[in-house]
Structure formats: C-alpha cells, structure tokens
Amino acid sequence: MQGRPPDIRVNIIVGDQMDNAIKTVYETVIARDPNQPEFHQAVEEVLESLGPVISENPEYMEVVQSMVEAERVIQFRVPWYDDEGSLQVNRGYRVQFNSAIGPYKGGLRFHPSVNLSILKFLGFEQVFKNSLTGLPMGGGKGGSDFNPKGRSDSEVKRFCQSYMSELWRHIGADLDVPAGDIGVGGREIGYMFGMFRKLANEFTAGVLTGKGLSYGGSLIRPEATGYGLVYFAREMLSTKGKSFEGARVAISGSGNVAQFACEKVLDLGGKPVTMSDSGGYIYDESGIDREKLAWIMDLKNNKRGRIKEYADHFDGVDYTQSKPEPNHNELWATEVDVALPCATQNEVNEAEARMLVEGGVIAVAEGANMPCTPEAIEVFHENGILFGPGKASNAGGVATSGLEMSQNSLRMSWTREEVDQKLESIMINIHKNAFDTAEKYGMPGNYVAGANIAGFLKVAEATMAQGVL
C-alpha cells in the first residue's frame, strides 16, 4: 500500500468492506429461505456484479439489504371442478417484489413446477429487467402449480376464474399489472380479465397485459419477446462487426418466444436450424424457412402437437429424443454462429456451453429466463463469446406490455409499425445502457454485469429518494 494516494487506499478498504457486506446479505438470503435454489442463483448473480457500485456509493448498501426481500408474497388456495365434477385444489401465488419505480409488473405462470423459489427468482429478475426498459414499472411475478396441458377449455376457464377470484384483490392498473408467461396465453388472460371485470364492476383495461385486440390489447405483444431478443442479439453482433445475414442459428423451445425469434432471424437474413420441446429437438440442415415456421406455429398453437411431427412431415430433418439428466442436450452441439435458448431455466449447463464454443458459436442471447447456469456463463466469458443475459435480452415482452399499459392509459391504439419501432428503440437502448455501464465499471463486454448494474442504479436512486421503505 506504500506510495498509494490516501484517497485510493480508503476506497480500496471501503470496497473490501462492502464485498464482505454483500456476502453477508447473500448468506442471510440463504439462511432465511434455505430451500429456494432458483432464487439463490438469481440473487447471487446480481450481487456478484455490485461490488464496484457499492464501493463508489456505500450508501446503496441499504438498498441491497432491502431489495433481496420481496415487498409482499401472497399465497392462496385455488379450488375448481374438473369436467368429471371432481374437486381439484391448486396453489396460487403473487410475488410483489419491488415497486420503487412503478407498479409491480410481471407475468403469471401456470405449470406444475411453480413454487415460491421459482416465482421469487422470476420476480427478482423482473425488477432489473423492467428497470432496464426505461419504463415506469416495478417487478413482480405470480402463477400456480396448475397444468393447463390436457385440460379442456371449460376446465381452464373454471380454474382461471377461481384463481382471479382471489387475485383481483391484489392487482390494479396503478398497483400490480400481471401478464402471461408459460402456460398463460391469450385464452387464459381473457378468462381472467373477464372475471376481474365482473368482480371489480368496472372495465379497467390496464389491469392485465397480453389482452386480445378487441378489449385493449396491443399489436406486436405476442411477437415482442422473440423480436426483442433478436434485436438485442443483432446489437451485440454489431459490436464485433457481425450480423445475422447468413448466420446459422440454434433455437431451443418451440413456444411463443422461439417462434417469433425464428421469424425475426429470417427477417434479418439468418438461417434457423433447430427447435425443440420437452420431447426432443429437430435439426433441419436446410434451415427452417417461413413455410416451415408457419407449419410449426400451426402445430404448436392450434394442434398442440409435438415437434417430432416436424421431422415426420419434412424431408431431410433429424429428430433426437430428449434423454433424462445427466445426459447433455445434443442440440447445443450443433455448429452454429448464434444460439438463442428460449425454453426454460438452467437448460444450458457448463458442458453444453463448451459444446457451443466447440461448434463455433459467436453469440448467445437468452430468450428464456435464466436458461444458462452460472458455470455456462463463465465458459462463454472465458472464451470471449458475446453473452446477453435474459434480464436484458428478453426484456422485449415486458417492454411491449409497458407500451400496452401506455395505450390503455391513453385510451388509444398504436399501429403495428409504431409498436415495433418503439420496441426496437427500447432494445437498442437496453443494449447501449448495458454495454456502456459494463465499460464504465471496468468490465467491457460483460453484459451480465452491465445489465445488473444499470438496472440496479435506477432502482437504488428511487429507493433512496423514497427513504428505503
């Protein structure tokens, strides 16, 4: 330490103290909720990035302490009757994580895997994602362990109505605005909005987003997450003088995000070669063109079929069945330039990340929430791979939800072109913010750190201004 100016020495000491303080916060999270691994993972990823910020702004340590605890967690019983007249009982949740910069905003997930750990991880991520959009939205998440797959429309309707009969007390256009997520599409949003309207005795369009166009929805909303993902990846590629033109692209999943990511890749001249579902994946060497994509959309959205049927329908397509863990997903061994994981959390592990690197991947951008494990992300960083974390790269969905809220407040509708233009502008700004912030704090090219810090700073400033409530 000899010879260092005194102010630098002080900063280093403060930084060390704050690193220890951050570690203490993380240990407290684990001690309070020992059985919530997904939430721990999300918190750890963010806290690891904040050391330089806290060293520069020690007063923000109070914000760190407060924001790892949700403002409110609501859990409730959801009873409903199936078509045979038998009573079914599910658990319903809403995690209202942070409202420092706006009303809680985040999707509803209906899936058997739903529990508090997953919803808290998603709600925590949502705080930073929403902050990055630049729109006035806080973070939240909710859902149920109900599985809509295999259920009739009548059963889904009865469940949604029962779920909303409790949730309606806790949401509002200026309080908490849910949207769709896994298992919750236009059908489910419609049933829930109808029930809310009946119970509240008012038409408040801005209480839910992802609505149908006939009752306050926005154009581009179904496409938004997939389109936004590709816009973000395009911006990442441009920093290395690359583009989607002629690029081979691996996409996992075959739901809403994957479908529209595929569509936008085609718009930009890329060649998608893979898609998947829980049963396995397809590899189409000739590329998934617009005709084939339309066939997949019909298969998944209307017929509720399996991706295996694609290989049966089109020539020259390989289908590989999924194998139980710990087998690796060979989809990621495909030689591609860009990878867009759009299926689910932790679908790309360390070994699968190395498969992508060996296959020549240039860029990886997360379409799902936290699909890459921390070990996988480390592999990408070690090998100089451009990596876009979900809180930045898949923020297009919630950004367009925010635009839907704006239209509802204005009682008007924008054209498809207007919404798409605003979405593209938001994604460009998210990329610039994450890129510039990473450089400012001495971690150039590290979008994880850049997105975490940029999202945190806005929330921290608002929290401090309001007295850390």
Which residue is catalytic, options 105, 129, 141, 271? 141
Q: Which residues contact 426 (CB under 8 A, 6 or more apart)?
A: 133, 134, 135, 228, 395, 396, 399
Cα–Cα distance, 257 to 341 (Å, whole number):
10
Strands of the 271-277 sheet, one edge to the other: 317-321, 280-284, 271-277, 248-252, 338-341, 363-365, 386-388
What are 437's two structure tokens? Answer: 């912030």
Give φ, ψ of 243 to 5 degrees.
Answer: -150, 180
Q: Which of 88, 107, 215, 85 is nearest to 162 (CA)?
A: 88
Cα–Cα distance, 192 to 208 (Å, whole number):
9
Question: Tokens 């699968």, residue?
Answer: 352
Strands of the 72-81 sheet, one edge to the other: 72-81, 87-98, 139-144, 104-110, 176-180
Q: Which residues contact 204 (CB under 8 A, 6 or more apart)?
A: 172, 173, 196, 197
User: For the chain, what is the radius of gyration of the CA atoms?
Assistant: 22
Ordered DSSP codes for 388-419 = E-HHHHTTHHHHHHHHHHHHHHHT----HHHH
Cis peptide before 272 (omega within 30 of 0): no
Q: Other C-beta atoms within 10 Å of 213: how many?
A: 11
- Is 141 designated active site? yes
Query: Residue ranges of the alpha helices (H) in 99-141?
Result: 116-133
- Per-position b or e across 239-278, b if 16+ CB within 10 A of its CB: eeebebeebbbbbbbbbbbbbbbbbbbbebebbbbbbbbe
What are 458's two structure tokens? Answer: 């806005």
Question: Tokens 């991880």, residue?
Answer: 121
What are 170's two structure tokens? Answer: 């806790």
Ordered DSSP codes for 56-91 = H-GGGHHHHHHHTS-SEEEEEEEEEE-TTS-EEEEE
> Which residues are bridge partners to 282 per DSSP?
275, 319
Cα–Cα distance, 56 to 440 (Å, whole number):
12
Beta-sheet pairing, 139-144 with 104-110? parallel
Tell me the catalytic residues.
141
